[in-house]
Structures are given as structure tokens and as C-alpha cells.
Amino acid sequence: MSVATELPALTADEAAHSRALQAQIVQEIARAGGWMSFARFMQLALYAPGLGYYSAGARKFGAAGDFVTAPEVAPVFSRCVAVQCADVLSQLGERAVLLELGAGSGAMAAALLAELERRGTLPAECWILDVSADLRERQHEVLATAVPQLLPRVRWLDALPDAFDGVVVANEVLDALVVERFVVRDQRVRALGVAVDDAGALHWVEREAGPELERAVRAIEVDTGLALPDGYVSEINLGLGAWLEAVTASLRHGVMLFIDYGLPRRELYSLERGRGTLLCHFRHRFHDDALARVGLQDITAWVDFTAVAESAQAAGLDVAGYTTQAHFLIGCGLGEFVANVGELDLVERVNLSRQAMVLTLPGEMGERFKVIALAKGYDAPLRGFAVRDLRHTL
Ligand SMILES: C[S@@+](CC[C@H](N)C(=O)[O-])C[C@H]1O[C@@H](n2cnc3c(N)ncnc32)[C@H](O)[C@@H]1O
């Protein structure tokens, strides 16, 4: 993927911010002997305290930011997710909790709580855990404006909680977890990392892969039945298993719903995707130059949902459903939300229909985004997967 259109110029403040983070990265590369893994680079670019993209004050979400997510463009998305959460919360009883990981602007938490209140299925508490302290303030503001009466039920966590019963939701969080990048050369797996050239600029440099990366890429070849060809580049999340295990340990009974763009492994690591799936967002333009505009742009990679399912099973979870976002939302009653327009005026009705199209059309978010449900000690059916369950494709 390349730059769709010319990227907007940086303001002086943005340029200074980016230089400061780049200087920190350059120093760390020097200390480490001249090379940094891509996962470490992504960690710093997105989450370095005070300077990383998610840790600093950039606008990020919405029209004035860099990208939009489903809860931002379409509140009906969160209403549908709430329908699924309501079922699970009702089954789990009155002490059940809603935990949102990576809550972004807080738009989804606010809309989820409003819908759960409307249905009489509010959780005992709503917890939010986000690695970004900057976003925490924004989430507080959004919730205080949208659902002030429910604010006393909302708690921001600094770490995963002890065992609880409830629902965990995370929209576009898996794609923000750091990944390693690799390239295949002469049938060997090489790690693609970051170094500094003579002019002080960051650039890609490959070196021999460590044993974990080598093993993971060979496992992909076995699973896909492909010998990845020379020059094949892609990404892999080596930390997914440990991350999911930690989330699993904190849930006693309940369901996790992860929504993200991604594919089953066989499709993700296909020959057509031999340049990888890194995607950077800067003011609504997307491109794959992850080393540019350090700290000012989002960096993401498509999710390997087969890896999510395998890690889930290894952690002791059941994969309770996997489907496209479109089918999930339809299963959760998107059609009824659009049909029951009640008091809405014409403009609001048109707006709602437009939201439904963005969320479900294959060329928009409908097929690119998937939903996976992971259950622990919970076996009631999940309506979001009743229309179409694609677990057999994982
Ligand atoms: C692409 S944004 C999505 C935000 C929001 N869920 C939405 O859909 O608009 C990714 C979010 O995940 C958060 N995040 C990244 N890694 C995380 C982690 N390990 N635990 C919790 N939050 C994380 C980021 O700070 C950010 O809020």
C-alpha cells in the first residue's frame, strides 16, 4: 500500500514533538548497538510516555483527527454490541461487570451504557482500561457529557482486575498491539527492524531472526501449506498469547468480544499479501510508511484471527463465535434499530441508514472487520453469531 494522496504538512509543534520522540528512539538504537526490533519501535511510536501517538495529546479520533472507528461514525454500532452484552450480563447476574479495553474517545462506553440503561440491563459497574492516560481524560469528559447519571458506575483501572464475572469488549485494540515484522530471504526468516542512517534518519534494516520469530514464521508455513517466497514481508504478534492469557486470568465467567480488521491465517498470509498489512493513519490518509511522522500517526497491523483463536484455546477459553461485523450487527438487531425509527426526524433517519451502510457494506466496514467471541465458563448461545458463524474458517 502506498500514500493515497499527498500527506498534509506538519505544524511546527508537531514537527518538534516528532523530533523529540525520534531522538529518544535514536538514542535507544545507539545504546542497543545500532538496531531495534520493529515491535520495540512500534511500542515507543505509539506508547512512549508523554510522546507516543496514544500517550500524547494528538486528536486521533473523529473528523478533526486521523481516523474514525465504528463507534465514532455510527452510534448504532455500540447499540448493537450492547444488545449482545445485555444477554450475557443478564445470564451472569447482578454482580456482572462490563470491562472495555482500549476505550479510545469513550464514545463506545457511553453508547453501550446508554443502551444498557434503556434495556434495564446495566452492569454493576463499567470499567475502562486503557494504556493511554491522555485518553482517560477524554473518556471521562465524553461519559460525563453523554451519560452523567451513570458516571458513578464507571471506574478507570490501572491494571487488569482480579477475577470478575462479566463482558469484556475491545474495538480496534488487537490491531494496536505491537507486532514484529519479517522478510523471507533465500529461504531464511529475517527480522525487519529499525536503524539510523548517516543523516540521522530511521530506516529498515534486516537481521537474522531470533528463534521465536523463526519458529512462528515456520508455523505459518506449515499451517498455510506455503513456502513463503523470497522477499515476502509480513507482520506477526508474538505477544498475543501472553496478553490474552493475562486478560483470561482476570475473567472468572463471561465473554470477551474483540472486533477488528483481520482474517483467518490462511488468508492473511497469502501470496497476494506479500507486502504485509501495516497501515498508518495520518489525518484520514493511510499509507504503510511506519517510520515516518514518528509519534504523530497511528500504526496498525491486520489481526490473525486464527492466532487469536489458538491463543484463546491455549489460555483455556472457548471460541464461542467468529463472524463478519455485518453479520454480527444484523444478528444483534441492526435491522430493527433501523426500522424502528419512532420519533426520529427525516435527517436522523437518513443518518441512521447511512450508518448502517457504512457498518455493513462489504466495501466499507462490513467484511473487513470481524468479531470473535471468547467465552470462559459461559455456554449460552450468542445472538451475534446466529446469522452466520465462520469459526470453521479459522
Ligand atoms: C485504535 S484505538 C481504538 C479506540 C476505540 N476502541 C474505538 O473503537 O474508537 C486503540 C485503543 O487501544 C488502546 N490500547 C492499546 N493497547 C492497549 C492495551 N494493551 N490495553 C488497553 N488498551 C490499549 C489505545 O490507547 C487506544 O485507546
Q: Which three cell numbers stand for residue 81?
A: 454490541
Q: How many other C-beta atoms can be found within 10 angstroms of the C-beta atom of residue 275?
A: 13
pLDDT tens track for 247-303: 999 999 999 999 999 999 999 999 999 999 998 988 777 888 899 999 999 999 999
- 393/264 Cα distance (integer angstroms): 7
Task: Output the pLDDT for position 62.
Answer: 67
Q: How far is the CA of 49 from the centre of ligand 1 (A)?
A: 15
Q: For residues 287 and 75, which has the higher predicted lDDT (pLDDT)?
A: 75
> 136, 157, 173: which to mutate for ligand 1, most atoms within 8 A of CB?
173
Centroid of ligand 1 to alpha carbon of 250 (angstroms): 18
Q: What is the mean pLDDT of residues 327-338?
A: 96
Cα of 103 vs centre of ligand 1, distance in Å, is 6
Q: What residue owns the CA closest to ligand 1's atom 24?
A: 102
Q: Of 308-312, 364-368, 388-392, where does mean pLDDT reach its minimum?
A: 364-368
pLDDT at 11: 82
Instruction: Choose one of 51, 131, 279 to mutate for the ligand 1 pocket test, by most ligand atoms within 8 angstroms of C-beta.
Output: 131
Q: Tell me what the mean pLDDT of segment 39-63 comes to.
A: 86
Q: Ligand 1 centre and the CA of 220: distance in Å?
A: 27
Q: From the centroid of its chain, how far is CA 69?
A: 10
* 221 Cα: distance to centroid of ligand 1 (angstroms): 30
pTM: 0.95
> What's the 112 CA to ligand 1 centre distance in angstroms?
16
Tens-digit pLDDT profile for residues 298-312: 999 999 999 999 999
The answer to whether 210 and 191 are in contact (CB under 8 A) is yes
**How would residue 57 be classed by pLDDT, with cut points 50, 70 and 90?**
low
Question: Does any ligand 1 atom lie closer than 6 A to the CB of residue 87?
Answer: no
Q: Is 135 in the pocket of ligand 1 (CB under 6 A)?
A: yes
pLDDT of residue 2: 43
- Mean pLDDT throughout 327-348? 90
**Residue 78 pLDDT > 90:** yes
pLDDT digit string (tens) for 100-153? 999 999 999 999 999 999 999 999 999 999 998 888 989 999 999 999 999 999
Kindly give the number of the ligand 1 atom that is closest to the alpha carbon of 300: 1
**Residue located nearest, by CA, to atom 13 of ligand 1:** 102
Instruction: For residue 3, name the pLDDT band (cuts at 50, 70, 90).
Output: very low
| 360 grid coordinates | 455493513
Q: Mean per-residue pLDDT for 49-72?
A: 79
Average pLDDT over residues 66-73: 85
> Residue 286's pLDDT is what?
82
β partners of residue 233: 183, 275
| β-bridge pairing 303-304 and 188-196 | unpaired
Segment 145-200, tens digit of pLDDT: 999 999 999 999 999 999 999 999 999 999 999 999 999 999 999 999 999 999 99
Ligand 1 mean position, distance from CA 193 (Å): 24
- Tell me: pLDDT of 342 over 70: yes
Ligand 1 contacts CB of residue 102 (under 6 A): yes
Q: How far apart are CA 259 and CA 254, in angstroms?
A: 17
**Percent of the residues in the chain that have a pLDDT greater than 70, as a whole number:** 96
Does the Cβ of 78 fall within 6 Å of ligand 1? no
pLDDT at 281: 85
Sign of the alpha-carbon dihedral angle for 240, 243, 245, 250: negative
Mean pLDDT of 80-91: 98
Average pLDDT rounded to a whole number, residues 49-66: 77
